[in-house]
Amino acid sequence: MIIYQDDKIRIERHESSTPWVKIFTQHPYKEMSEVPWDIQLHIYKLLNIIEKEMIAYYNPKKINIASFGNYLPHVHWHIMARFELDSHFPEPMWGVQQRDIELDLPEFEIFCDRLIEVLS
């Protein structure tokens, strides 16, 4: 699901039990070093905004930000709010699940609305 997009990037929801969004470049660059400088700056600004909005809205234990692209060689960043009782904490979300749990968190759709408002 696309939350926001402009001519340089798009922000998508990642289906997860924890709040998780991804920033993609609109053009499928393979490596961050291939991305034009203005788009790199745009991405870093968005990472900062999303992190601050996740902290303000969810009050997580930690924010995780990652960029891999091994399966999908298209520059993208993962931004996740992490909680001590989430299914994988303290492991990464790609690691071994630690517990079965449903977190009682504020609505993700409201977070998306807040994010869109800040980005617009």
Domain range summary for the chain, segments of one domain joined by +:
2-119
For residue 51, what pLDDT is reported? 98
User: Which pLDDT tens digit goes with each residue over 17-67?
Assistant: 999 999 999 999 999 999 999 999 999 999 999 999 999 999 999 999 999
pTM assigned to the model: 0.93
Q: In this predicted model, which residue has the larger pLDDT, 52 or 71?
A: 52
How does 14-47 read in b/e, with b if 16+ C-beta sit within 10 Å? eebebbbbbbbbeeebeeeeebeeebbebbeebb
Q: Is the pLDDT of residue 68 over 90?
A: no
How does 55-93 read in b/e, with b if 16+ C-beta sit within 10 Å? eebbebeebbeeeeeeeeeebbbbbbbbbeebbbbeeeb
Q: Is the peptide bond before 90 cis (omega within 30 degrees of 0)?
A: yes
Give the domain 2-119 fold: HIT family, subunit A (3.30.428)
DSSP state of 13: E
For residue 117, what pLDDT is reported? 96
Average pLDDT for the chain = 95
